[in-house]
A and B are shown apart, each in its own frame.
Chain A
Amino acid sequence: MKPLPRWAEIAVLPLVNIALAFLVVGVIVRVIGADPVQALRLLVTGAVGSSESIGYTLYYATNFIFTGLAVAVAFHAGLFNIGGEGQAYIGGLGCGLAILALDRVLPAWALIPLAILAAALFGAAWAAVPAWLQAWRGSHIVITTIMFNFLASALMVYLMVNVLIAPGSMTPQSRTFTAAGKIPSMQEALSWLGIAVAPSALNLSLVLALACCVGTWIFLWHTPWGYALRTMGHNPEAAVYAGTSLRRTTMLAMAVSGGLAGFVAVNELMGVHQRIVLDFPAGYGFAGIAVALMGRGHPLGILLAALLFGALQQGGAELAFEIPAITREMTVVIQGLIILFSGALLNMPRPWLQRLLSLFPASAGKGGA
């Protein structure tokens, strides 16, 4: 059978995958005795129904952009980074330590870039260890990054409970950052321009995320490093033949990937929590796999997929509020199903589409020409 035309591969197939995931979700909603149509309506209005909800949707999307790009960069190098969760967590340690050490000394304009850099460096370092282990010691990166998630979690619990806990605090969290370590909220930033929006958790980290989209696109497709990285992903032997060092490229891909994942901490800790807290990555690292798969590894696709996931997260929260029978975890189910259908079962609907398109010989001919 003929391969699918490009437009169907890029635009139609992902939509079919999402539709299948939602079909299953509809059945689950039905099973627990709620109305799927009403649930979908609540989900959509909850996600984009007001200025505040749009703010939250974009705030969640910011995290998904970071982790989606992180997974995609590694994917292009043929590496599967499941460690976004741990890299984001350790990134939080990086920016948190920088701020706790310096927020009474440095002004915001100096501290914020420094802390963002620290988040990226710590995330990159945490990803570099599994990369080194794969490149030099031959251990499988999938297994090591999984293990590193658990190590990150154990390390952070230890540090938060024993070292970084604020004096007198009952819960394991650090002291609150001073204003010098705070990324301005979007409401604040837009008010400087005279635009009024409802308050939400959305902050200027979104701008960083958009810059990362552009940066990743330039890095992957318009630099020699990105070229080497993608060559390694397509055909490692060809990459070696072209003079690429697989070891160095593995390190580079994973470091960039980990750094991007580390930026989740910028949105969460510097933008919202204002302190180091436990478990703030909350599954964003894993969801990044879905975002990258749905976005077909392209920054523009990842941006769109992240918006969808952000909307699901925010809409799901509203939905859980409106229909008590449906809990917030419904969004987790949807994310899992999207990974299943747009990742593992990616090939399933392809023959259906091919058969459907072969019913229209004229358009199929044009697509093939």
Chain B
Amino acid sequence: MEEALTFVLLTLAATLRVATPLVLCAMGGLFSEKAGIIDVGLEGKMLVAAFAAAATAAVAGSAWAGVAAGIAASLVLALLHGFACITHRGNQVVSGVALNIVAAGLTVVLGTAWFNRGGQTPPLDGAQRLRPLFLPEAGDNILVYAALAAVPLSWWIVARTRFGLRLRAVGEMPLAVDAAGISVNGLRYRAVLLCGVFAGLAGAYLSIGQNAGFSRDMTAGQGFIALAAVIFGKWRPGPTFGACLLFGLLDAVAIRLQGVKVPGIGEVPVQLVQAMPYLLTIFLLAGFIGRAVAPRAAGVPYEKEH
């Protein structure tokens, strides 16, 4: 009995640890998509943030400097995305893909040139890392709580503030926002930058919270899982949070199931459990589980009439 309880508690703690970057990143993606800017570049933002955070923490010796650098790096990518998609009305998917590829290459190029460890940053310890606040075994650093707080905060901003109302309007019908005399581009830039802040926190969590340093491609698709969570949560903070927890749980279970025979089923392929977030999202998008309706103007550049 006690064994089962420990198993459950450990799995829950692991779920929260794994879900934290997903939640932060997904909240960022939610703001961007709500404003009508598709962001397949979450992965890249997280990756540059993870690199910048670990590199700065290693050099400056401070985890907080690392977090700030992570956010700054992610914001640079967010600004580029905005510059391409909002100012120059470029294709949002192409821009996201491009920034992902640049991020994957640049983190390794710069990391190798600066630290000479094959793309890794020096191992971090002590004040260079975000330490657990209350439960050392659970790894509950400040960003875990930030992620938990981000959900009601995002809900409040989107559903209850004037900014949130305008944000939703700009994602559904930018012409109406424009006609009301509010800058479509200004709103969209703000959404994209908010997304950058959240993705930056997610990346910093990965390299200086959950792990003790940056390693190449350390995001390993988590940005895409966060994107899937936004869709799975139907572009709403609460359900998106739920999706992140579900995907985090699947990941935690996948690690624990490795090589274990489940009674009655036999050995469950780890790859199947890991693929579940993608499979579930596909089923949802196909309308087999409820319906997911994206913001109507998502992906459409806004052309102001002259």
Tell me which residues from 35 to 63 in chain B have a Cβ below 8 Å from any Cβ of chain A. Answer: 38, 40
Listed in ascending order, the chain B residues whose CB lies under 8 Å from chain A are 38, 40, 80, 83-85, 88-95, 97-106, 108-110, 112-114, 119, 221, 224, 227-228, 231, 269, 271-272, 274-275, 278-279, 281-282, 285-288, 294
Asked whether A347 and B98 contact (CB < 8 A) given A82-B93, A143-B281, A150-B224, the answer is no
How many pairs of residues, A versus B, come closer than 8 Å at their CB atoms? Answer: 156
Mark each residue of chain A from 187 to 223: 1 if its CB lies under 8 Å from any CB of chain B, else 0: 0000000000000000000000000000000000000
The reply to whether A343 and B101 contact each other, CB–CB distance below 8 Å, is no
- A80 proximity list for chain B (CB < 8 A): 93
Docked CA distance A31–B106 (Å):
12
Beta-carbon nearest neighbor of B84 in chain A? A344
Contact of B98 among A133, A139, A343 (CB under 8 A): A343
Contact assessment for A329 and B98 in the assembled complex, using a CB-CB cutoff below 8 Å: no
Given contacts A82-B97, A139-B286, contact A154 B275 (CB under 8 A): yes
Please give the distance in Å from A148's CB to the nearest CB on chain B: 8
For residue A16, CB closer than 8 A to chain B, the reply is no
B109 with A327: CB separation less than 8 A: yes
Judging by beta carbons under 8 Å apart, are A339 and B106 in contact? no
Is A321 on the interface with B (CB-CB < 8 A)?
no
Say whether, besides A133-B282, A144-B285, A347-B88, A158 and B104 are in contact (CB < 8 Å). Answer: no
Instruction: Tell me, in angstroms, the Cα distance from A101 to B83 when the chains sit together.
Output: 52
Residues of A within 8 A of B275 (CB): 150-151, 154-155
Contact B119 A154 (CB under 8 A): no
Query: Judging by beta carbons under 8 Å apart, are B95 and A154 in contact?
Result: no
Q: Does chain B have a CB within 8 A of A353? A: no
Whether A138 and B287, one on each chain, are in contact in the complex, defined by CB atoms closer than 8 angstroms, is: yes
A residues near B231, Cβ cutoff 8 Å: 143
A-B contacts, 22 of them at CB < 8 A, read A28-B110, A32-B113, A82-B97, A138-B287, A142-B40, A147-B279, A154-B275, A155-B271, A162-B269, A326-B109, A327-B108, A327-B112, A331-B105, A333-B102, A333-B109, A339-B94, A339-B97, A344-B88, A344-B90, A344-B92, A344-B98, A345-B90
Q: How far is the CA of A44 from the CA of B105 in the complex (A)?
A: 20
Query: In the complex, what residues of A have CB within 8 A of residue B113's CB?
Result: 32-33, 325-327
Q: Which residue of A lies closest to B231 (CB)?
A: A143
The 8 Å CB contact of A336, one of B84, B93, B98, B221, is B98
Query: Considering the chains assembled together, what is the distance between the CA atoms of A244 and B220 in angstroms?
Result: 41
Is A267 in contact with chain B by the CB < 8 A criterion?
no
Known: A154-B274, A345-B83. 17 other contacts (CB 8 A): A82-B40, A137-B288, A143-B227, A146-B227, A150-B275, A326-B113, A329-B109, A330-B105, A332-B105, A333-B109, A336-B99, A340-B99, A344-B85, A344-B91, A344-B92, A344-B98, A346-B88
CA distance A348 to B112 in the complex (A): 32
The verdict on A146 contacting B98 (CB below 8 Å), with A32-B110, A137-B287, A151-B275 known, is no
How far does the alpha carbon of A333 sit from the alpha carbon of B91 in the complex, in Å? Answer: 19
Chain A residues with Cβ below 8 Å from B271 are 154-155, 157-158
**Given the complex, which residues of B lie within 8 Å of A154, measured CB to CB?**
271-272, 274-275, 278
Taken together as a complex, chains A and B put the C-alpha atoms of A327 and B99 apart, in Å, by 19
Q: Does A112 lie at the interface of the complex (its beta carbon under 8 Å from any beta carbon of B)? A: no
Instruction: State in angstroms the CA–CA spacing of A181 and B112 once bound together.
Output: 39
Is A289 among interface residues, defined by CB-CB distance under 8 A? yes
The minimal Cβ–Cβ distance linking B293 to chain A, given in whole angstroms, is 10
A286 in the interface (beta carbon within 8 A): yes
CA distance A80 to B97 in the complex (A): 12
Given contacts A162-B269, A344-B90, contact A335 B278 (CB under 8 A): no
The smallest beta-carbon distance between B21 and chain A, in angstroms, is 17
Chain B hits for A289, CB < 8 A: 94, 97
**Smallest CB separation, A141 vs chain B (Å):** 10
Q: How far is the CA of A28 from the CA of B112 in the complex (A)?
A: 13
CB contact under 8 A between A345 and B88, given known A82-B93, A336-B100, A340-B102: yes
Interface: A337 (CB within 8 A): yes
Bound-complex Cα distance A264 to B281 (A): 28
